[in-house]
Chains A and B, each alone.
Chain A
Amino acid sequence: MHVLLIEDDELVGSGIRTGLELAGFTVDWFTRAAEAREALANLDSDIVVLDLGLPDEDGLTLLCEWRAQGLTVPVLVLTARDAVADRVAGLEVGADDYLLKPFDLDELTARLQALLRRAAGRARPLIEHGPVCIDSSSRRVWRDGLEVGLTRREFTLLQKLLNARGGILDIEQIKDSLYGLDTEVESNAVNVHIYHLRRKLGTGLIRTVRGLGYRLGDPGDLDSGGPK
């Protein structure tokens, strides 16, 4: 899952990035509102972590702008100001959650997971798709009750497909989720991950929509084609 992190403080930002990467997120980090605005326009982020005290512009202005544009990406607001008015202001202009500094890294990742889950219309971290069962909080996957080991990117890809709920994802969207902006990606990298996922969980898991991208296979498709 791709996180757009907007935090002006060098020390705090580097800490959050490392922490989120450890928790399996792909993170792109910006320190200026202008950069974040451009990034979100070009990038398909799954979730945004927004610090309110930005040097060039107020974080709330940025958030207002996004919501006015109709962007529905979940936004978690970070704030060091604890007055009720400050906390409420974020939620009122369209933040989905807020976290008061200083916070616990575990709490931050848990809240991000919860926001992603809710954005995908689920209330529980456990997802069942035919014989495949996924726990997004502990990042573990089972098929027919047997645990299957997935790499971080494979898991993210699976999660992204599940959250799309049968919708078609194009290669760019998948790339953004897996790699963000910074990494130079081989053109067939996504294909490789899809190949591995199919091999581990069954060919019916992912269906190729020619010319458009990929989508999650129906639960029934999985029963026929077991793992190779």
Chain B
Amino acid sequence: MSLRRRLLLTLGLSFCVLWALAAAWLYSDLRGQMRQTLDQRLAASARMVAGLVAQLPEDAWAGAAEPMLSIPQSSGVACQISSPAGEVLMRTHGDFAGQLDAPEAGFINRNIDGQRWRVFTYIQNGLRVTTADLLAERVMLQRNIVVVAALPFVVALLGSLLTLWFGIRRGLRPLEHLRSELARRDPETLTPVTIVDAPAELEPVVDTLNRLLVRTREALRREQRFTSDAAHELRTPLTAIKTHVQLASRVPADQMHEAMSRAEAGIARLQRTLDQLLLLARLEVDQAGNLMAQVNSASIVETALADLENRERVVMVEHDSNSVAVEAPHELAAAALRNLLENALRHTHGDEPVVLEVRPGPREVVFTIRDRGDWPAEQSTHNLTQRFWRHGGGQGNGQGSGLGLAIVATITERYGGALEFTARDGGGLVARLSLPAKEHNAR
């Protein structure tokens, strides 16, 4: 059920019930009051007649054998005066012989000639005065009053229902706008929703929705960009492999060897790119995993150097023989350090050494890698951790997957470390990777 219908139904029904109860209360109250008033008037008229009759001399009716019917008859009301002896002295309705006689004083309802009468008898000094009025007239009066009183009620009720309908419709219009706006749009559309005159209650909803849309759009764009880059990075070595394998069967025998070794170089590059891509994918999926793992800083260095090509070019500077436990999984910490070292070696020509300095501290372990590579002194380092970005476009040193430093950045971020690159005066790069020490986190 829609919110509008629900509101209309709840409020409309409550209105109707409340108004009806109020009307019923008013009606019953009015009926009682009216009955009382009419009874009082009936009694008052009986007393008035009795008072008038008492003024007459005693013998005014002594000689009357028949009741005197001198009072002009009027419809709806009747009156009868009887002597203490029980004789009827006067009566308005001649045909009401004996029917207005009452044994005692007070009100009584009586059926006379098929009509209901309200009869009141008043006794004064033995003189009985009986007054009566027609009940049907009272009912008619009541009905008129009900009609007069109920009509404004009904009009007011209808009016409030109408106001209610308009009010709810108007009040819910921004919601309706939002609904139709959302219903109209293509599910693929990620442009922000705009609602004109959004009320304060709806603003946070629209804001949150729009922020979510923007974030989704950005994430999607990043994802598409990444997929496209990944496709490029995988297809390029694949092209090299395919081309050189095809060439191997066409070139003269003496060139075949070269074609095959180039194809192999392509395979090695493809494998490296795949490994790095998979590592990155694992890092992204495994958000919370292995958070509790910890590893010795010396063991990180050992593993990082173990499968590094040209490791003899790495010069170690250690400040403290005491190794410190690092709050990160062994494999990933070693992968981060190895990627930094590989990067430094790749961009350093000839036999130029790469310096690795490990400084374990109470709060963090800092790995500093200094090289005299091809990084220009004045160049900004902000691109370095961007995925698939390569220094110099990868020419000449195109063995890199373009993902190594992006992976280091992801690992560092995941385990609360810090990574910064600084261009050196005179060329080359300083990479500083710090990982939080275990003691720091312990409570």
Give the complex CA separation of A80 and B388 in angstroms.
14
Cross-chain contact A15 with B236 (CB below 8 angstroms): no
B242 close to chain A: CB less than 8 A? yes
A31 close to chain B: CB less than 8 A? yes
Q: Which residues of A contact B394 (CB under 8 A)?
A: 8-9, 55
Cross-chain contact B243 with A12 (CB below 8 angstroms): yes
Complex interface residues of chain B between 205 and 255 (CB less than 8 A to chain A): 224, 228, 231-233, 235-244, 246-247, 250-251, 255
Cross-chain contact B235 with A102 (CB below 8 angstroms): yes
B10 close to chain A: CB less than 8 A? no
Cross-chain contact B242 with A11 (CB below 8 angstroms): no
Give the complex CA separation of A171 and B249 in angstroms.
36
Cross-chain contact B242 with A102 (CB below 8 angstroms): yes
Q: Which residues of B contact A100 (CB under 8 A)?
A: 235
Cross-chain contact B239 with A101 (CB below 8 angstroms): yes
Complex interface residues of chain A between 65 and 100 (CB less than 8 A to chain B): 80-83, 86, 100
Cross-chain contact A9 with B232 (CB below 8 angstroms): no
| Contact of B231 (CB < 8 Å), options: A11, A81, A103 | A81
In this complex, the interface size class of chain B, counting residues with CB under 8 Å from chain A, is 20 to 34
A53 close to chain B: CB less than 8 A? yes
Give the complex CA separation of A31 and B231 in angstroms.
20
Q: Which residues of B contact A10 (CB under 8 A)?
A: 395-396, 398
Give the complex CA separation of A65 and B211 in angstroms.
40
A162 close to chain B: CB less than 8 A? no
Q: Which residues of B contact A53 (CB under 8 A)?
A: 232
Interface pairs (27), CB distance under 8 Å: A8-B394, A9-B236, A9-B394, A9-B398, A10-B396, A11-B240, A11-B265, A11-B398, A14-B262, A15-B262, A16-B243, A18-B259, A19-B247, A19-B250, A22-B247, A22-B250, A54-B393, A56-B393, A81-B232, A83-B228, A100-B235, A101-B238, A102-B235, A103-B239, A104-B246, A105-B243, A106-B246
Give the top 4 A-B pairs by smallest Cβ distance, nearest first. A55-B393, A15-B243, A11-B240, A80-B235
Question: Hey, which bits of chain A sit against chain B, CB under 8 A?
Answer: 8-12, 14-16, 18-19, 22, 31-32, 53-56, 80-83, 86, 100-106
